[in-house]
Structure 1
Amino acid sequence: MKKNEQTKFLLAILFLLFLIIFLLIYSIYFINTELIKHLRIPQWQRILIVYSFTLLAILNLYTVKNLFSALSTLKTTQIYKDNIKSLDNFINILRAQRHEFNNHLQIIWGLICVGKYDDAVRYIEQISENLKCTSKFYGLGCAELSALIFAKSSLAKKYDINFEFHYNVDFSNLKFDSMDLINICGNLIDNAFYYAKCSLSKYVVLEINDTGSQVEISITNSGSYIDDCKKEKIFELGYSTKNSTGLGLFIVKSTVEKYGGQIEVFSEYKSQDKYEKEGYTTFKVTLPKKI
């Protein structure tokens, strides 16, 4: 189901819910009017009407709750599918690099054998520069997260976004579910890219650090400013400023709370020049290591 279709479906369900509630309130008022009393409708029938509409209202509330839960699951499933695709691409790149490595060794060996030492050095430097694009993701200790961030870095090039990634953490020794890390980082990166790609500086920086007792994930993007009064509202189920389902940040907060962590939002305007200012927003997630 597409985002626009999801939004229309949700609006239809909410409209039905409000209609049922309105009918419930109206029925309570109507059965107590003088007209109904003169018609001498038995009390038990009036009570039955009220209870019937009350039951319908409760059932609709339950339906809406399950609907949002289903959409949340659908969103998470889509993230998993995207991550599997990213992981496949990442593995294929590593396989290709391993295949090319033997060729590189033969070329370097040949240059050394014929005395072309300077050419061998330049060739090694060229290989090293080309490997930097993927090697910086190796040390995370979570192949799924490495694949996700690598895929997002490729997407950043497509949107001409200056995407920086820094980390000081090894997830291989930490008790975090890889899918939870993907839920957090994937949604935050997508949210950051959405605003950065239309901004002046097109800037996004992701940092993941092990501080000893906890893991901190922070992402800063240009192109957005969030008022203080909206910093809590953006995590509410269904709330969105992007014509979407409003599930992304809700999933992030729910996942963070699962680990007893916290998420904070910092937003400010930074002057680009004398006449223009651009908004910058940072989401900072703190996850305790002892879970």
Structure 2
Amino acid sequence: MRKNININIEKTAIIIYIVNITQMLILLSFIIYSFIFRDRAGKFISENLELLFLILIAIILINSYIALRDINALKILNDRYFMQCKTLNQIEDLNNILRSQRHDFLNHLQVVYSLIEMNEYKETSNYIEKVYEDIKKINKVLKTSSPAINGLLQAKQLDCEDRGILVELKIETRLDKLKVPSWEMCRVLGNIIDNAIEATEENRNKYIKIEIFEESHEYKFLIKNNGKKIPENLINKIFEPGFTTKGEKGQGMGLAISKEIIEKYGGDITVSTNQTDTTFEIIIPFD
């Protein structure tokens, strides 16, 4: 994937160079011709000045259009590359956790065996319960068929735990028919979960609930947090590009980008809020 992105970037850069060099050669040829054949060139220029001017303008406009188009393509590729790197890091973190659990499993068995031999049945029960809770946390995020989404959810869950936020995960689908590419879906979920984390910063009892399930012919993602209610005069603006309530800390693009991605694949994203919680709902139809 990284190789494909690099190839696309190189192709885009080559196109920009070719167009600019072509423009420069045409202008240079025109100047050289005018200098060598001054008399004929002067007459030709005077008779076709308007035509030459239009050709020059057309070349500049075409060059500008191609340059802007390719710059935008480079930006999209750069964003995609950044998100894929981030997703790969999250998958790697999840893989490391799974390796750690496998490594620790034998140690846990040895502890349990020793406790049973010493007839410490109550302590054995407590120990198994603690180990089981850790295993359940991992199993909750391994239910989808997308390693990238699993890695994202695991990374966000660990981040929330570090911040003292209680996270409830409820995943009831494998997302086998999800038509949104994993790297784009991770971008959407990452933006909304980060938004939920920030919304709970001032709470004493912080709580986020993430539900992923399917109904009829569509997937639903519900991300709920118990942060402050979004004011009525702002709730219709939060998906607008550049809108932010974070002052200089935010750029106001996360939710706008999320909405753009979801709508690109025929889905919808909405938000509801009240005095107790705020919920983002994403609906994505099957293929």
Residue in structure 1 matched with residue 206 of structure 2 by the alignment: 202
Q: Does 1:283 align with 2:280?
A: yes
What percentage of residue pairs aligned between the two structures are identical?
A: 25
After superposing the two structures, state which structure 1 stretch, 177-186 or 194-203, moved more. Answer: 194-203
Give the number of equivalent residue pairs. Answer: 237
Matched residue SS, 1:217: strand
Alpha-carbon distance in 1 for matches of 2:262, 2:161:
29
- Larger Rg over CA atoms: 2
Change beyond 3 A, Cα 1:282–1:98: same
TM norm structure 1: 0.66
8 Å contact from structure 2 (residues 141, 171) kept in 1: no
Q: 1:81 to 1:109 in 2, by over 3 A?
A: same
Select 2:191's aligned residue among 187, 190, 196: 187
Does the CA-based 8 Å contact 2:200-2:228 persist in structure 1? Answer: yes
CA distance in 2, matches of 1:108, 1:115: 11
* Structure 2 spans left out of the alignment, 5+ residues: 1-47
- How many Å apart are 1:83 and its aligned residue? 1.7
Q: Which has the higher contact order (CA 8 A, sep 6+)?
A: 1
Deviates more, 1:153-162 or 1:195-204: 195-204
Per-residue CA shift, 1:217-249, capped at 9, x if unaligned?
12123135153565256243xx23144444322
Aligned to 2:158: 154
2:282 is paired with a residue of what secondary structure?
strand
The answer to whether the 8 Å contact 1:161/1:197 transfers is: no
1:1-291 map, 5 Å:
70-171=74-175, 173-176=176-179, 177-199=181-203, 201-221=205-225, 222-223=227-228, 225-227=230-232, 231=236, 234-236=239-241, 239-241=242-244, 242=246, 243=248, 244-268=250-274, 270=275, 280-289=277-286, 291=287
C-alpha RMSD over aligned residues: 3.6
> In structure 2, the residue corresponding to 1:141 is in which secondary structure?
coil
Measure, in 2, the Cα distance between the counterparts of 1:228 and 1:54. Answer: 46
Gaps of 5+ in 1: 1-43, 272-279
In the TM superposition, residue 49 of structure 1 has moved relative to its aligned partner by 10
In 2, the alpha carbon distance for the partners of 1:183 and 1:231 equals 22
Contact 1:207 1:217 in 2 (8 A): yes
- Tell me, in whole angstroms, the C-alpha distance in 1 between the residues paired with 2:119 and 2:146: 42
Q: TM-score, normalised by structure 2?
A: 0.67
CA deviation string 1:191-229 (max 9, x = no partner): 222232245653332211122321101212313515356
Contact 1:209 1:217 survives alignment (8 Å) = yes
